[in-house]
Amino acid sequence: MLLTPTKKYIFEYSAACHYYDLLKNFHEYFIDDLLMSGVGICGESMSDIFFDENDKYDSIFHNIIKKGVDYGYPSAKSQLWKENILESECVFYDFGRGDGVKYIYMLQNTMNWTHSFDFNCSVFSLIEPDIDIIDNYWRS
């Protein structure tokens, strides 16, 4: 299987306002539901982070997402950097499609959440996900 390289959209801190405007609007137009959220140590795998999980979905669903992220490869990521330190990122995973449904999820990571060594990770389902639309959006 040939992997497509991850599309990356890098924002320097001088463009932070633009990045956060894009992020706010992305949430408004593309986010369907918060699936889980937790705080982890930088470099920790998804499976090792304690998440508060949305009760609408069972634990098997959440575990599949965690394993998919741990062993998968992101399709796209948008990142905000401040002085060579990652401040925020949105990472998009495309887990394919089934029964006419596309399974693309967004991880939003906010670095230095409570300390310089941790981050907040929130996982969202998307409304009508399409990686090309996501690509065009972050390229704007």
Q: Please give the pLDDT value at position 50.
A: 95
Host domain of residue 28: 7-139
Q: Domain count of the chain?
A: 1
Q: Please give the pLDDT value at position 100.
A: 58
Three-state SS for 62? helix
CB 6 within 8 A of CB 76: yes
Residue tagged 């982890």 (tokens): 40
What are the strands of the beta sheet with 51-53, ordered from one edge? 7-12, 76-82, 85-98, 101-111, 118-126, 31-41, 51-53
In a domain, 1, yes or no: no
In a domain, 21, yes or no: yes
In a domain, 41, yes or no: yes
Q: Return per-residue pLDDT of the chain as tens, 140 residues.
A: 556 789 999 999 999 999 999 999 999 999 999 999 999 999 899 999 999 999 999 999 999 999 999 999 999 999 999 999 999 999 999 988 766 557 899 999 999 988 888 999 999 999 877 889 999 999 98
Q: Please give the pLDDT value at position 4.
A: 78
Q: Please give the pLDDT value at position 99.
A: 67
In a domain, 69, yes or no: yes
In a domain, 51, yes or no: yes
In a domain, 2, yes or no: no
